[in-house]
Amino acid sequence: MKQHRRMSSGFLIVVSGVGCALLARHEAMSQNLRQGPGNENRTTLRSEFKMDVRDGYRYISSNGIPNHATGQFPNANNPNSIRAQSYSYRVTLHPVPAAAATRLPKVFGVAVNGVPYDPSTAEAWNGNFQWRYEALSGFFSSQGGLGVDTSLAHVQPNGAYHYHGLPFALLEKLDYRHKPALIGFAADGFPIYGNYGYSNSENANSPIRVLKSSYRLKSGSRPGGQNSPGGAYDGSFAQDYEYVKGAGDLDEFNGRTGVTPEYPAGTYYYVITDTFPFVSRQFRGTPDATFLREGGPGRGGPGGPGGPGGQFGGPGGQQFGRPGSQFGPPPGFIPSDGLPQYLNLTAAQSADLTKLEKAVNALRNSRFALRAFADLKLTKGQISRLATGEKLSTVLTADQQSIVQQNQMPAFGPPGGPQGFGPPPGGQPGFGPPPGGP
């Protein structure tokens, strides 16, 4: 038996069999949202969300418009307006733990209103993804440059509104302080809940309290040298944190096993917390391929540094940066550390890719404008030598060295300089944190 329902909020949910219980849950949620307080910043776009439960999967599609009030967009730190998207995801109804953890490939999951959870940034110190910048703590949060609203969400240049952390405007409608609130599904199929849960995970009659992450800031300072930004562990990078078993309520995936209103017999579920990792950066199960493909939320904003017409690159901008980004990649960009899995590369191909990345970083460190990379016509042997750390002067021919000299990037000032200039220590144009956020 299959049921089709359209709610007055603009949602269409199609369910069959075991999906009926979730249908009732969604209807109650929609009613709560309609009765919530108004907000002058509510988008005038209509939220569209569809869930079809069939053949062992939950098919989710949406236009990415939240069914709650948002912050003002554009705003002083985010130049983008919310626009409708076209999302289509699939998650299994029967998730199981995988043999090994899978790192976040792109979007972690999707909320029950169709808005993606996209917690990571695509930016790294000096292009080194061993040091990936963190969106909601450390440098970015201290600069106030993300432009996030009270739901810890902001808008990308393609108009994609997405959550970096707890979606408070959604949670406030769900009585989330008095019962576990189902707020989404991860790419591997496990449900996502707000940060309140039962004190005893197996007892629905136990008191409700805030669930805490087990991640903590590392003590001391980051390693020095050319391959590290140095400085104290302050939360600027995801790598500033470490999992400490038993330090909180949750495991290394920011989740736990227990009963919930939707799963009275118990299930494994993720929790979005008010501290790192906020939204989990790895999966306990296997993410569906629909979350790996191109087309998810992009990063940055037009007119900003690194965006279209911006100072640090992108279409119409100066020399550097990844096209279409404020200081992150365009929609559909797959971070370099996820490319081997995304492209299903062999071990040999993955090794070649790693060498190429190291060679590119060596050129980048010399302030070479990568727009002219193809002009160098590097041989495979030269790429391997640069990857091992040989100096450019000993690897490149005289003609290639001339190309490098003719395509030099200007030097930019340190943090504290004019707004839009001066990436963080070790950062480069297109890779630092100018206003607008990841």
pLDDT of residue 208: 97
| Regions of the chain where pLDDT drops below 50 | 1-40, 294-338, 342, 411-438
Phi-psi map region of 234: left, alpha, beta (phi>0 left; psi -120 to 50 alpha): alpha
pLDDT of residue 379: 93
Q: How far apart are CA 304 and CA 298, in angstroms?
A: 14
pLDDT of residue 349: 74
pLDDT of residue 143: 65
pLDDT of residue 345: 65
pLDDT of residue 88: 96
Model pTM above 0.75: no
pLDDT of residue 127: 78
pLDDT of residue 353: 82
